[in-house]
Structure 1
Amino acid sequence: MSAGEVVHYMLTALFATAAVRALWQGVLARTRGCRSRIDHLLHSAMALAMAVMPWSWGSALPQLPQSVFFVGAALWFPLTAVKSGQERQLSAIVRRLPYSVGIATMAWMSYRAAGHSHQTMAEGVPTAQQATHLGHSMGESKADSVVTGVLALYLLTCSVRSLTRDMPILRGAADTTNNSTSLKGACNSFWDGAMALGTVVMLLMPH
């Protein structure tokens, strides 16, 4: 088994577990509101798509419907940021922005996969058009690298923040109720950070 396959298996296990967890929270948890249920269902759909993406048979999924779905899902989070006026709009959007960017990254990866497929099909262009095609491809490659780098840097920052934010809470809490709440928050932060980190790996790894 190659190192790449080991990474693929690890990513598949991570995202499959995250998909089941999000599905359970979105469907079975009775204390959730409608917006929260949809949030979790979107997370589950994203994680499930990420679980199959590392494998060659994952590319058999239609790229355009994936991109459209994930663009819509990415817009859902900022557009539904304000809940009953309980918090300021800007702070609500910022709080939900990592989820939006994570799903937007899925749309970006689907778009890149579709573009790579079109580029492969266009390799047989006539000789007279090769220079123009090459220049256009180089320009797109530079722009793609910039977008990929910005997304990766942002998600990596979110991942580090989520994975380290609740570490002091885990080191001790005297009250049992507070400890239970802290552990729940720490668990949520762990999965947020793990998902963001896994998305960065998926974004940067060759497909």
Structure 2
Amino acid sequence: MMADLTLRWVVTLLFVLAAAECLSTLAGGDRRSAAVVSQLLHVVMALAMAVMAWPWGAALPTVAPMVFFLLATLWFVAVTASPICAGHRVAGAYHALMMLAMAWMYAVMNGRLLPGQASYAGDPAATAGSSGHAGHAGMNMPGMDMSGTAAAADSSGGGYPPYIDTLNWICTLLFAVAAVYWLYRYLAVRRDRAAATTARPLGILCQSMMAAGMAIMFGVML
């Protein structure tokens, strides 16, 4: 979970608003099956990220959500490669990357799925058991308290292996840039009345909020 209460509420608000926008689009938008599935996946992602920021969310299983978002990644890869995504392949690839980043975050939260993670954290017991839940004693993660217990405050935790830190940095910077880009797109569409009739300004703003929330969540893991 996220240790800072104010930041936790900011992230929750970003993702809840994003989920609400996706649901409103789903209710009155494109009814094609591919569009419906894609919107539902974004709703699930936004809600999962909001839950992840809270103490009770840290006690939930991580393996099943990780597999779910890996499958969601494959869905967006397939849709992006199909003719229905012609002209929007960059956006499709970005959505696939978001789902992959979600799977990666759950893998990191698990504490023992990734190579060298348990030993680097100085927790020999982390390799035992197979509950698939996040938050193991000794996994002291910078900026985040994954366990919701006093064990997470143990300063003996070693954080992450270098390759995990590197990928978390990449994700943080990528989604920070994406948040700025989508916000710029939103402002540009709002200024252009002709574009506003064909684009969905709130949908674009939703993407900016989701990217900002992702950047914050990865940022506190650094």
Secondary structure of the residue that 1:80 maps to in structure 2?
Answer: helix
Alpha-carbon RMSD across the aligned residues, in angstroms, is: 3.0
Structure 1 length-normalised TM: 0.76
Q: Which amino acid aligns with 1:8?
A: R
Q: How does 1:93-172 map to 2 (within 5 A)?
A: 93-115=89-111, 119=118, 122-123=123-124, 141-171=161-191
Q: Is the 8 A contact 2:17 2:206 kept in 1?
A: no
After superposition, give the CA deviation of every residue in 1:56-115 in whole Å (9 maximum; x if it has no partner). 11012111001100111122112111454672xxx5432212211112111111111111
Q: Tell me if structure 1 keeps the 8 A contact 2:73–2:97.
A: yes
- Confirm or deny: 8 A CA contact 1:82 1:92 kept in the other structure: no
Tell whether the 8 Å contact from 1:78 to 1:93 is kept in structure 2 after alignment. Answer: no
Unpaired stretches in structure 2, ≥5 consecutive residues: 127-156
The separation in 2 between residues aligned to 1:68 and 1:169, in whole angstroms, is 36
Counterpart residue number, 2:202: 187
1:56 and 1:190 map into 2 onto residues whose CA distance is 28
In 1: Cα distance, 2:176 partner to 2:90 partner? 16
Query: Which structure is higher in RCO with an 8 Å CA cutoff and minimum separation 6?
Result: 2
Which stretches in structure 1 are left out of the alignment for 5+ residues? Answer: 126-136
Moved over 6 A (4+): none
The total of aligned residue pairs comes to 185
Partners of 1:49 and 1:85 in 2: how far apart? Answer: 27
**Greater per-residue helix proportion:** 1
Question: Could you tell me the TM-score, scaled by structure 2's length?
Answer: 0.72
Cα offset, 1:5, TM superposition: 0.3
Whether the aligned pair in 2 keeps the contact of 1:66 and 1:110 (CA below 8 Å) is: yes
